[in-house]
Amino acid sequence: MDKILRIDMGAAGGPKAKAVPIGEYAGLGGRALTSAVISKEVPPECHPLSADNKLVIAPGLLSGTAAAMSGRLSVGCKSPLTGGIKEANSGGQPAQVLARLGFAAIILEGASKANDLYRIFINKDGVTITPDNSLKMMLNYDLVEKMKAEYGDKIACISIGPAGEMKLAASSVACTDMELRPTRHAGRGGVGAVMGSKGVKVIVLDDTGMPMRQPKDPDKFKKANKEFTDGLKKHSVTGQGLPAYGTNVLTNILNEAGGYPTYNFKEGRFAGASKISGETEAALETERGGLATHGCHRGCVIRCSGTYHDKDGHYLTKQPEYETVWAHGGHCGIDDMDKIAMMDFLEDNIGLDTIETGVTIGVAMEAGLLKFGDADAAVKLVKEIGQGTPLGRIIGSGAAVTGKIFGVERVPVVKGQAMPAYDPRAVEGMGVTYATTTMGADHTAGYAVATNILKVGGFVDPLKPEGQVELSRNLQIATAFIDSTGMCLFIAFAILDQPETFQAYLDLLNSCLGLSFTADNVAEYGKKVLSMERDFNKRAGFTSQQDRLPGYFKTQPIAPHNVTFKVKDEDLDKVYNW
């Protein structure tokens, strides 16, 4: 992990790859590395689809080692959706494989002058870049099957579907899972469109013959990894709740708390919630011969995912996540789990962010384009995106564009990015994160739900503005660090509650890399990442006016608690005062 693979897609005579020493970026991984490269090397005023933008793909500091949970990949660029800096994060196999191939990052630069589409193959012997226009508009599942047939089943793929090729702002970058299916996605912010603008369809990684990354202090590392794993297994959320029910266990609790955005953020509870809850989903999966407990990458000990089968017992998709189920479920008034799972599959296949796409369908419903609750019409709309019809392209451009085109006032976006599955009026800490994160509305950037709703890391009343700014700030700082280490963010449930597990996490890093992280310099590292990102956004033209929720969240109360978002603007402006 001491080199960076720079691929100039616009080089004279065709794309050229060059492995260079990591140099000034040493010590950075994952989100810290992607954000540092974007912040330093990409002109902030550039068009996101221009040759000036870069797509940076980076495993975390611990990826490729034996450390449990270290398989997250960060994908960074200037976002076509928000116009600001972006890091979208994904599970799956590629982070581990890329790290074992010795790369701290792949940077796709420039832009192909011809209209060719390329595949990139990387193994221990080097990098091969091949034009392959037979892949044009190929769906992700078909693409991965084709790569498997050609390169064998020891590979991991990073790819785009038709949405990325069409450069749609809701397009994702897909990563394959342990079964070599394209089910894990760097979803948010249109990163797929940037990969499409570089003319790259797929990066195939094969680490055959490459050893696992070795820690500097193997004995200490082994001990720390055991303590870390034991801590995750011992904590009731990471050890029991997440494995048993998956992320969708949140449906019932957010619904109960009155913070489950329903009918395009009109109400805080959905009558059909129990039909699409994690409890129902897990039971269906087990009953149909799928799996209710499954990891997304090797080395995962939480195993919050699963496998969803159709009525006939055939594989349909991976276990749809809470955000996906919500975006196509309560948000759209749909309570049919099979139809929701179908949309999850279609969007993975077309290469779309399920949050942005689902939220956009709900906005289209509010516009009267289709009726709330009409699952068949929603499925048809998703298919239209894949077909590239004019309407499909509008929907695939996200909620903000769709809302503008169809004249909708209530469009739940910040910095042009759709809000996830927590109403900021009833979960105020989440509202602070949505408003102020550098990413546009993003729940993972500072997951205040943990403390507002789940009582992890203490408790801050979700219905009051007090304490939310501090909560969001601290979570945003911690998250920026965790995202840089390649660790799954769900480790936070255990490390927030168990000091010894937090220490084991630091010991893992220190013994692996020969560093000396303490709680204090972890925070400094996180702040450094956020500062780079915020500086980029400022240079791209963002002001405090972009750190706001849409006005209706302050004026239109939401049932059942009849609350509005009450955190003051001047307090939002204090999130980055440290």
Where along the sequence are the contacts to another protein (CB under 8 A)? 235-238, 240-242, 244-250, 252-253, 256-258, 269, 274, 278-279, 304, 322-323, 443-444, 447, 449-450, 453-456, 459, 461-463, 489-490, 493, 560-561
Strand partners, 564: none
Euclidean distance between CA atoms 102 and 98, whole angstroms: 7
Least CB distance from residue 447 to another protein, whole Å?
A: 6
Least CB distance from residue 230 to another protein, whole Å?
A: 17
Least CB distance from residue 338 to another protein, whole Å?
A: 21
Residue 235 or 309 having the CB closest to another protein: 235
Least CB distance from residue 322 to another protein, whole Å?
A: 5
Residue 456 or 512 having the CB closest to another protein: 456
Least CB distance from residue 88 to another protein, whole Å?
A: 15
Residue 159 or 248 having the CB closest to another protein: 248
Least CB distance from residue 341 to another protein, whole Å?
A: 17
Distances (CA, A) of 74 to 24, 88, 524: 19, 6, 20
Residue 459 or 578 having the CB closest to another protein: 459
Residue 200 or 426 having the CB closest to another protein: 426
**Strands (DSSP E) found in 359-510:** 413-414, 417-418
Sign of CA dihedral 46, 48, 51, 54: positive
Name all contacts of 3-6 with Cβ < 8 Å and 24+ positions apart. Answer: 3/102, 3/103, 3/104, 4/103, 4/104, 4/105, 4/106, 4/107, 5/103, 5/105, 5/106, 5/107, 5/122, 5/127, 6/107, 6/109
Distances (CA, A) of 34 to 100, 554, 576: 18, 34, 20
Least CB distance from residue 233 to another protein, whole Å?
A: 14
Least CB distance from residue 38 to another protein, whole Å?
A: 25
The identity of residue 96, as a single letter, is Q
Residue 60 or 162 having the CB closest to another protein: 60
Residue 159 or 476 having the CB closest to another protein: 476
Least CB distance from residue 494 to another protein, whole Å?
A: 10
Least CB distance from residue 259 to another protein, whole Å?
A: 9
Q: What angle is formed at CA 548 by the lines to CA 360 and CA 361, rounded to 5 degrees? A: 5
Cα 308 vs. chain centroid, distance in angstroms?
20
Residue 107 or 558 having the CB closest to another protein: 558
Residue 236 or 544 having the CB closest to another protein: 236
Least CB distance from residue 152 to another protein, whole Å?
A: 35
Beta strands 118-123; 200-206: pairing state: parallel
Least CB distance from residue 254 to another protein, whole Å?
A: 9
Least CB distance from residue 355 to another protein, whole Å?
A: 12
Euclidean distance between CA atoms 110 and 523, whole angstroms: 34
Residue 163 or 254 having the CB closest to another protein: 254
CB-CB neighbours of 469 under 10 Å: 21
Residue 140 or 248 having the CB closest to another protein: 248
Residue 331 contacts residue 261 (beta carbons within 8 Å): yes
Token readout for 155 is 């590979």
CA dihedral 23, 29, 31, 37 (to 10 degrees): 10
Residue 432 contacts residue 448 (beta carbons within 8 Å): yes
Residue 248 or 262 having the CB closest to another protein: 248
Euclidean distance between CA atoms 536 and 117, whole angstroms: 30
Euclidean distance between CA atoms 562 and 293, whole angstroms: 37
The secondary structure element, H or E, covering residue 466 is none
**Sheet containing 3-8, strands listed edge to edge, beginning at the edge strand earlier in sequence:** 16-21, 3-8, 103-109, 55-59, 73-78, 85-90
Least CB distance from residue 387 to another protein, whole Å?
A: 32
User: 199: closest CA among 471, 335, 329, 8?
Assistant: 8
Token readout for 248 is 């969708």
Least CB distance from residue 493 to another protein, whole Å?
A: 5
Got the DSSP string for 25-42?
A: GTT--HHHHHHHHHHHHS
Residue 17 or 291 having the CB closest to another protein: 291
Euclidean distance between CA atoms 170 and 315, whole angstroms: 25
Residue 28 or 302 having the CB closest to another protein: 302
User: 426: closest CA among 285, 272, 559, 248?
Assistant: 559
Got the DSSP string for 513-547?
A: HT----HHHHHHHHHHHHHHHHHHHHHTT--GGGS
Residue 215 or 295 having the CB closest to another protein: 295
Euclidean distance between CA atoms 153 and 214, whole angstroms: 25
